[in-house]
């Protein structure tokens, strides 16, 4: 699937929003609270009686993502706890059949279509609340045919009831093999029902090299420099803003806006995407620290989006000052560490025809000696405190 044309929009987008939301937002100790605290399923199920988010507004979620410069969203339709944010004929443990009486997936899809942003569904293969899955875990045995039929029916519902979907993002696969999950059968079904949908690589213990359209490194970025060996297929680094995916009231370890923008650029510089997570509160609102960071990222993206969308790696790096991205006959030097009026980059094989600051089109002087590029006449102070982008026009379309 390396030359899969349906992934072109994904490589153009480069930046998306992950949304982890469900019953676990109520205890507010992260999305793994049921497992980590060994909460019995009967006790955990009582949370569904409280889950009635009065301030949920899918339009606000989508508008926030768009304002940050994100091009797609992936929502947890069902996490490991088994609670569905959609209507399912094979389960009563859903937001439609409990206190909320709402199909949140349907509202999310409607908002995405309204604002023309790509739609992604996250779905966990494992289910801590399902007796058949629990039984397989206790006996350390393969999941039963009944459980396979159960979760594949739910995936079919997701692929059938909401129109065109752009991404199916699976998780919770690590306890069983592709064969045990019957993932090849699952993929065939998805291809039939959603022929243009991208599927990630989490479909069994060995699937991160055999199935799926893109890789999913979690909480790390696999490559940042041109000389690194990049993954052999498209990839997307998913990452939290603090330490948890789901809402955790006590988690104050927020990454700075600067770090998040650097992470985005690091992904793009390695031909990858950045899927940045938010964990909404029980009332459906996104926590203010997430909102403020997304708005600040959006302000930077408004000026510098050209250096992100559709860009990838270059044949030369950002030296001691930052990183590089490229598209067609332009390379973009992302300067995170402003060194004053002059910058030197090494191993530049291309002839640089001209250079200018992306923010204001101000021309910058460049000269070359062998494979060294000298950039002179820069402002003494960085125009942007986080990342000032310098455009380098190359002598040929393909960098390198």
Q: Which ranges constitute the DSSP H helices of the chain? A: 8-13, 33-36, 41-45, 58-67, 104-115, 131-138, 145-160, 178-181, 183-193, 257-269, 288-304
Cβ burial, residue 37 (10 Å; 0-12/13-18/19+): exposed
Please provide the CATH number assigned to the domain covering 322-394. 2.60.40.1180
* Average pLDDT of every residue of the chain: 94
Task: Assign residue 370 a region (left: φ > 0; alpha: ψ between -120 and 50; beta: otherwise).
Answer: left
Q: Are 128 and 82 in contact (CB under 8 A)?
A: yes
CB under 8 Å, gap of 24 or more: what pairs does 360-364 form?
364/390
Whether 210 has a pLDDT exceeding 90, the answer reads: no
pTM, two decimals, is 0.95
Q: Are 280 and 28 in contact (CB under 8 A)?
A: no
Whether 11 has a pLDDT exceeding 90, the answer reads: yes
* CATH H-level superfamily of 5-307: Glycosidases (3.20.20.80)
Same fold, 5-307 and 322-394: no
What is the phi/psi pair of residue 222, to 5°? -70, -25
Whether 300 has a pLDDT exceeding 90, the answer reads: yes
Q: How confident is the model at residue 35 (pLDDT cuts 50, 70, 90)?
A: very high
Q: CA nearest 1: which of 269, 203, 270?
A: 203
Please report the pLDDT score of residue 231 as a whole number: 58
Q: How confident is the model at residue 232 (pLDDT cuts 50, 70, 90)?
A: low
Write out pLDDT tens, residues 139-193: 888 899 999 999 999 999 999 999 999 999 999 999 899 999 999 999 999 999 9
Whether 399 has a pLDDT exceeding 60, the answer reads: no
Write out pLDDT tens, residues 255-294: 999 999 999 999 999 999 999 999 999 999 999 999 999 9
Domain coordinates in residue numbering, the chain: 5-307, 322-394
Please report the pLDDT score of residue 206 as a whole number: 82
Residue in the structure block whose two tokens are 């809402």: 247
The rounded percent of the chain whose pLDDT value lies above 90 is 89
Whether 2 has a pLDDT exceeding 60, the answer reads: no
Q: How confident is the model at residue 233 (pLDDT cuts 50, 70, 90)?
A: confident
Q: How confident is the model at residue 211 (pLDDT cuts 50, 70, 90)?
A: confident
Read off the pLDDT of each residue in 184-204 and give the average, rounded to a whole number.
97
């Amino acid at each position: 699937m390396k030359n899969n044309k349906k992934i072109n929009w994904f490589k153009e987008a480069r930046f998306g929003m992950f949304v982890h939301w469900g019953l676990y937002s109520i205890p507010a100790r992260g999305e793994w609270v049921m497992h980590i605290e060994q909460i019995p399923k009967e006790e955990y199920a009582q949370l569904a009686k409280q889950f009635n988010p009065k301030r949920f507004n899918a339009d606000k979620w989508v508008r926030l993502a768009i304002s940050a410069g994100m091009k797609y969203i992936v929502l947890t339709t069902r996490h490991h706890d088994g609670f569905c944010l959609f209507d399912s004929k094979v389960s009563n443990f859903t937001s439609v059949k409990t206190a909320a009486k709402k199909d949140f997936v349907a509202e999310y899809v409607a908002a995405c279509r309204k604002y023309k942003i790509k739609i992604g569904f996250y779905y966990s293969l494992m289910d801590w609340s399902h007796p058949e899955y629990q039984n397989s875990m206790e006996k350390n045995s393969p999941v039963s045919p009944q459980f396979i039929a159960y979760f594949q029916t739910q995936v079919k519902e997701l692929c059938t009831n909401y129109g065109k979907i752009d991404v199916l993002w699976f998780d919770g696969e690590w306890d069983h093999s592709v064969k045990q999950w019957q993932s090849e059968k699952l993929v065939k079904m998805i291809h039939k029902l959603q022929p243009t949908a991208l599927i990630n690589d989490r479909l069994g213990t060995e699937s991160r090299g055999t199935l799926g359209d893109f890789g999913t490194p979690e909480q790390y970025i696999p490559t940042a420099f041109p000389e690194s060996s990049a993954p052999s297929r498209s990839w997307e680094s998913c990452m939290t803003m603090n330490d948890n995916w789901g809402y955790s009231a006590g988690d104050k370890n927020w990454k700075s806006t600067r770090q998040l923008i650097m992470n985005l650029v690091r992904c793009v510089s390695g031909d990858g995407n950045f899927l940045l997570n938010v964990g909404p509160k029980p009332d459906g609102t996104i926590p203010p620290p997430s909102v403020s960071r997304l708005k600040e990222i959006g302000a930077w993206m408004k000026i510098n989006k050209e250096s992100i969308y559709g860009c990838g790696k270059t044949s030369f790096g950002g030296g001691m000052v930052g990183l590089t991205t490229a598209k067609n006959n332009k390379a973009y030097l992302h300067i995170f560490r402003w060194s004053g009026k002059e910058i030197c980059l090494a191993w530049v094989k291309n002839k640089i025809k001209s250079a200018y600051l992306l923010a204001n089109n101000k021309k910058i002087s460049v000269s070359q000696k062998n494979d060294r590029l000298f950039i002179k006449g820069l402002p003494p102070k960085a125009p942007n405190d986080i990342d000032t982008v310098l455009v380098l026009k190359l002598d040929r379309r393909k960098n390198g």
